[in-house]
Amino acid sequence: MKTRLTLLLFSVLLATTLLAQVPPPPPDDPSTGGGGGGPVGDGGGAPIAEGLGILLALGIAYGGRKCYEAYKADKAKRHPEV
């Protein structure tokens, strides 16, 4: 059980590095007169990755809590306290 928990925690911590954002590209050459970035007002700038990461983290926490409660209930059935 301890090995599984350690492996789970390690993989979760390792996976959080995958959620890091890529740095923005360097600005265009100022001598050409072009500005950096995309077109203004394109409307597609909603950051989805942060919300997805939070949703996954909360889902993992909820599932872990449910597993822990099921483990406690099973343990209480097997070894009732006096």
41-56: b (≥16 Cβ within 10 Å) or e: eeeeeeeeeeeeeeee
pTM: 0.40
Contact predicate 49/19, CB 8 Å: yes
Percent of the chain residues topping a pLDDT of 90? 34
What confidence tens digit (pLDDT) does each residue in 16-53 have? 777 666 777 777 766 655 555 555 555 556 677 778 88
Distance CA 46, CA 39 (A): 15
